[in-house]
Structure 1
Amino acid sequence: MMKKKPYFLFLFASLLLLLIGFVKSEETFDINVHDTYFIILQNHLYWLFTLLLFFFFIIYLTLDKIRLHLLKMLTKIHIYGTLLLTVGIFFPYDLLFTSSNFLLVDDSQSTNVYRSFCVLFFLIAQVLFIINIFVAIIKKLRN
């Protein structure tokens, strides 16, 4: 009987994001940076995060096959934090906030701040993952 590994959630989430990326084809992701307003097609971001989550799944699978034991707490923080923050980045904010016919930059300021915090904490979770790998390598070299 195979033990359930939490990193298989990355595979499931990447397949789900890939499917959502094909379904939502014309929505945009708007980013306001200083005086520049970036508009990115949202399914491109879905595909980018699909590749990123699948990459994490491959890394965890490889580390498991070479028997490099990561710290369980940091692994769980990385996996669940990454998945929750991905949901935080792509949450359908139009369900919560009413949108006007003409989109103003000031209308989406709270959404942009929330997404910025989600992206910041997402990057912190990735730094924890790198630290976890280095700690595991150091522990394996000492044994």
Structure 2
Amino acid sequence: MILYHSDVQGLHADALTGFFVGWPQGPTPEQLLAVLRGSYRAVVAVDGDRVVGFVTAVSDGVLTAFLPWLEVLPGHQGQGIGSSLLDRVLGELAHLYSVDLTCDPHLRGFYERHGFTALDAMGRRNPTALG
């Protein structure tokens, strides 16, 4: 049974492995733990003692938020976990004017089903920050 939690302070890095499949180098479990704990909002999906998905939000707390991460372990995809995570974090951000994110083109339909609209965006990446 998947349980959802917004309190991430009790998590441990060893519960955060297996994410970022296909990345040349993803964040370490320790970095991911720091990201979850430092986010304005975070929701995790837990199966037993393992985190199987998470979403994070950064925000000014007044008008805007950005969702940098929505990840579900490959073996748990297609079960509605990503939708549940997104719905939960959007509920926590419902008072804000805008919630933005960037995604790969093949994921646009998923986000459109949750009320997002495609926008032009710019980004800058620093791969060396991953270690």
- Say which structure is richer in strand: 2
TM-score, with structure 2 as normaliser = 0.30
- Say which structure is richer in helix: 1
TM-score, with structure 1 as normaliser = 0.28
The structure with more radius of gyration: 1
Where relative contact order (Cα < 8 A, 6+ residues apart) is larger, the structure is: 1
